[in-house]
Structure 1
Amino acid sequence: MNAVLDELKWRGLVYQSTDEAALAAHLDEGPVTGYVGFDPSAPSIHFGNLVQLMVWRHLQAAGHKPLLLVGGATGLIGDPRMSSERNLNPKEVVEEWVERIRAQVTKFVDFEGSNGAELVNNYDWTQNISTLDFLRDVGKHFSVNRMLARDVVASRLESGISYTEFSYILLQSLDYRELYRTKNCTLQTGASDQWGNISSGVELIRRSDGGKAHGLCTPLLTKADGTKFGKTESGTVWLDPTMTSPYAFHQFFLNAEDAKVIDYLKVFSSRGHDEIDQLEHLTQTEPHRRAAQKALADDVTDLVHSVAEREAAVAAAQALFGRGELGELPAATLEAVMKEVGVTSAEGRELPTIVEAVALAGVVTSKGAARRAIDEGGAYLNNQKVTDPEQRLTEGDLLDGRFALLRRGKKTLGALEFTS
Structure 2
Amino acid sequence: MKEKLMEDLKWRGLLYQQTDEAGLEDLLSKEKISLYCGVDPTADSMHIGHIVPLLTLRRFQMHGHRPILLVGGATGMIGDPSGRAEERQLQTTEQIDKNVAGIKKQMERIFDFSSENGAQMVNNNDWVGSMSVIQFLRDYGKLLGVNYMLAKDNVASRLDSGISFTEFSYMLIQGIDFNHLFNNYGCRVQIGGSDQWGNITTGLEVIRKTHEEEVKAFGITIPLVTKADGTKFGKSAGGSVWLDAEKTSPYEFYQFWINTADSDAVKYMKIFTFIEREEIEAFEITIQEEPHLRKAQLRLAEEMTRLIHGQEALDQAIRISKALFSGDLKTLTANEMKDAFKDVPSFEMAKEVKNIVDFIVDSGVSPSRRQAREDVTNGAISLNGERVTDTAYEVSAADRLDDAFAIVRRGKKNYKMVKFV
Residue in structure 2 matched with residue 329 of structure 1 by the alignment = 332
Secondary structure at 2:109 match in 1 = coil
Tell me how far apart the structure 2 counterparts of residues 375 and 308 of structure 1 sit (CA, whole Å): 40
Q: Which of residues 246, 250, 263 in structure 2 aligns to 1:259?
A: 263
Residue in structure 2 matched with residue 53 of structure 1 by the alignment = 54
Tell me how far apart the structure 1 counterparts of residues 203 and 18 of structure 2 sit (CA, whole Å): 13
Tell me how far apart the structure 1 counterparts of residues 364 and 205 of structure 2 sit (CA, whole Å): 59
How far 1:243 moved relative to its partner?
A: 1.4
The structure-2 alpha-carbon separation of the partners of 1:395 and 1:321, relative to structure 1 and needing over 3 Å to count, comes to farther
Instruction: Report if aligned partners of 2:154, 2:195 keep a CA contact under 8 Å in 1.
Output: no
Instruction: Report if aligned partners of 2:85, 2:161 keep a CA contact under 8 Å in 1.
Output: no
Instruction: Report if aligned partners of 2:286, 2:295 keep a CA contact under 8 Å in 1.
Output: yes
TM-score, normalised via structure 2 length: 0.91
Gaps of 5+ in 2: none
Whether 2:306 is the aligned partner of 1:306: answer no
The one-character-per-residue Cα deviations of 1:325-374 (angstroms, maximum 9, x if unpaired) are x344344433211214344444x443554455545656567777756655
Tell me how far apart the structure 2 counterparts of residues 153 and 4 of structure 1 sit (CA, whole Å): 33
The structure-2 alpha-carbon separation of the partners of 1:417 and 1:184, relative to structure 1 and needing over 3 Å to count, comes to same
Gaps of 5+ in 1: none
The structure-2 alpha-carbon separation of the partners of 1:269 and 1:359, relative to structure 1 and needing over 3 Å to count, comes to farther
Instruction: Report if aligned partners of 1:36, 1:67 keep a CA contact under 8 Å in 2.
Output: yes
How far 1:268 moved relative to its partner?
A: 2.0
Q: Which of residues 111, 117, 122 in structure 1 aligns to 2:124?
A: 122
Residue in structure 2 matched with residue 296 of structure 1 by the alignment = 300
Q: Which of residues 153, 156, 173 in structure 1 aligns to 2:155?
A: 153
How far 1:114 moved relative to its partner?
A: 2.9
Residue in structure 1 matched with residue 218 of structure 2 by the alignment = 214
The one-character-per-residue Cα deviations of 1:38-81 (angstroms, maximum 9, x if unpaired) are 11110111112222222122111111000011111011112114
Tell me how far apart the structure 1 counterparts of residues 160 and 178 of structure 2 sit (CA, whole Å): 31
The letter of the residue matching 2:105 is A
Q: Which of residues 128, 133, 142 in structure 1 aligns to 2:144?
A: 142
Residue in structure 1 matched with residue 410 of structure 2 by the alignment = 408
Q: Which of residues 245, 249, 254 in structure 1 aligns to 2:253?
A: 249
User: What is the alpha-carbon root mean square deviation over aligned residues?
Assistant: 2.3
Instruction: Report if aligned partners of 1:18, 1:215 keep a CA contact under 8 Å in 2.
Output: yes
Instruction: Report if aligned partners of 2:42, 2:76 keep a CA contact under 8 Å in 1.
Output: yes
How far 1:177 moved relative to its partner?
A: 0.6
Residue in structure 1 matched with residue 72 of structure 2 by the alignment = 71
Is 5-14 or 291-300 further displaced after alignment?
5-14
Instruction: Report if aligned partners of 2:44, 2:101 keep a CA contact under 8 Å in 1.
Output: no
Identity %: 44
Tell me how far apart the structure 2 counterparts of residues 362 and 75 of structure 1 sit (CA, whole Å): 48
Q: Which of residues 190, 212, 230 in structure 1 aligns to 2:234?
A: 230
Is 10-19 or 177-186 further displaced after alignment?
10-19
Q: Which of residues 263, 277, 282 in structure 2 aligns to 1:278?
A: 282
The letter of the residue matching 2:340 is V
TM-score, normalised via structure 1 length: 0.91
The one-character-per-residue Cα deviations of 1:137-177 (angstroms, maximum 9, x if unpaired) are 22222232233333333333233222111211111111001
Secondary structure at 1:256 match in 2 = coil
Tell me how far apart the structure 1 counterparts of residues 334 and 108 of structure 2 sit (CA, whole Å): 28
Q: Which of residues 394, 397, 412 in structure 2 aligns to 1:395?
A: 397
How far 1:98 moved relative to its partner?
A: 0.9
The structure-2 alpha-carbon separation of the partners of 1:316 and 1:188, relative to structure 1 and needing over 3 Å to count, comes to same
The structure-2 alpha-carbon separation of the partners of 1:148 and 1:276, relative to structure 1 and needing over 3 Å to count, comes to same
Whether 2:40 is the aligned partner of 1:36: answer no
Residue in structure 2 matched with residue 13 of structure 1 by the alignment = 14
**Number of corresponding residues:** 416
